[in-house]
Amino acid sequence: MSYTPTDKKFLKDSDKPSFHKDILFSFLDLKCLYNSEDEQEIILFHNKEVLVEVRAAFYDDCVEKGVFTLHDAFDAHGSFLPFELFQQRYGINCNFFRYFQVISAIPSTLWEKSQVAC
């Protein structure tokens, strides 16, 4: 049997423990949500390129309210949402400093990629 990382049949027929199979199936399902490698880079949190204080930015309250990608922080014209509108749209109660930290931590190359993907 030949192995390819995206072959679900291989996983189904393998002798791996069911726990590992479940994790790998879930990973493959998540990976299929994206059409290309570039689109995976627009994820806002836990992105190795969006660093706040030398760590990948992550704020669980933002994720819980539906902020997952750079696009979630954009307005209809591809500009970042003003702070007040961001809070209003997602019902997030955060301070301006935290919002500005994340927005300013986005490298211009990543921002440009996300603009092309819009």
Domain with 66 in it: 39-117
Kindly state whether residues 111 and 59 are assigned to the same domain.
Answer: yes
Q: What pLDDT does 34 receive?
A: 56
**Which residues does residue 80 pair with via DSSP β-bridges, in sequence order?**
74
CA-CA-CA-CA dihedral for 99, 91, 65, 34, to nearest 10: -70
Kindly state whether residues 26 and 56 are assigned to the same domain.
Answer: no
Q: For residues 7 and 24, what is the distance between their CA atoms, to the nearest angstrom?
A: 10
Find, among 101, 100, 106, 26, the residue nearest to 71 by Cα: 106
In contact, 83 and 96? CB cutoff 8 Å: yes
Total of domains in the chain? 2
In sign, the C-alpha dihedral spanning 70, 75, 80, 86 is negative
Low-confidence ranges of the chain (pLDDT < 50): 1-6, 36, 38-41, 118
Q: For residues 63 and 97, what is the distance between their CA atoms, to the nearest angstrom?
A: 18
Q: Does 77 fall in a domain?
A: yes
Give this prediction's pTM. 0.60
Kindly state whether residues 45 and 26 are assigned to the same domain.
Answer: no
Q: Does 3 fall in a domain?
A: no
Q: What pLDDT does 87 receive?
A: 94
Q: CA 93 → CA 62, 79, 80, 97, 103, distances in Å?
A: 9, 21, 18, 12, 16
